Structure 1
Amino acid sequence: MELVFAGRVIEWRGPSPYFFVPVPDEQCADISEVAAMATYGWGVIPVEARTGEVGFATSLIPQDGGRLLPLKNAVRKPQGLSVGDDVTVEMTVRLQGGPSRG
């Protein structure tokens, strides 16, 4: 499943700061349709994502009925992204349970 959406970078402050882009409700609804085939537990959904010229693998994190896309420093810093910046995300949900290799 391939998705494109725009969002604003947010920060969650814990022992160390984490940066995310909230996935819009419409795309969360689409992801929910394949969540059972994609999750590897705890509601976490593996994805391949791209912002600007930087592609990366990560996992969507469930929060308050929605999902958050983590932005590691290796993704944010080369693009100069910080809290409040608007970004466009291209994302592919990685489905689990493909053919077994044995």
Structure 2
Amino acid sequence: MDIEFEGTVHRWRNNEGIFLVSLPKDLSDDIKEISEGMTNGWGSLKVEAKLGSVVWRTSIFPDPKTGCFDLPLKAEVRKKNNIDEGSEVKVQLDVLGF
């Protein structure tokens, strides 16, 4: 399942050291519907993400407060793309296993 979306980088409210970008609500709803019963711990799904020229494997996690999936951005990804809190990013995402 290949997805492309844009979002604003923000910090996780439970740990300011973790940077995230949220998938749009409608996209998150579609993923939840399609992946029902197939998620891992905490409702996560394995993905391959691409931001700029950096490709990495990670997981997306549902945020119960917003209803959106969040993609964590590793320090290496942020550094190579000059990303900080508030940056607007365009992400290509492949939800694995579909």
CA contact (8 A) 1:38 1:46 kept: no
1:26-79 CA distance string (max 9 Å, x none) = 210221122236412320111101011111111011112211000010111111
Identity of aligned residues (%): 38
Change (3 A) 1:2 1:82: same
**Corresponding residue of 2:46:** 46
Q: Match of 1:68, SS?
A: strand
Change (3 A) 1:36 1:85: same
Q: Match of 1:69, SS?
A: strand
**Corresponding residue of 1:99:** none
Structure 2, gaps ≥5 residues long:
none
Give the stretch that moved more between structures: 29-38 or 77-86: 29-38
Cα RMSD for the two superposed structures: 1.8
Which of these two proteins has the greater Rg computed from alpha carbons?
1
Count, aligned residues: 96
What's the TM-score, normalizing by structure 1? 0.84
**Corresponding residue of 1:74:** 76
Q: Match of 1:42, SS?
A: helix
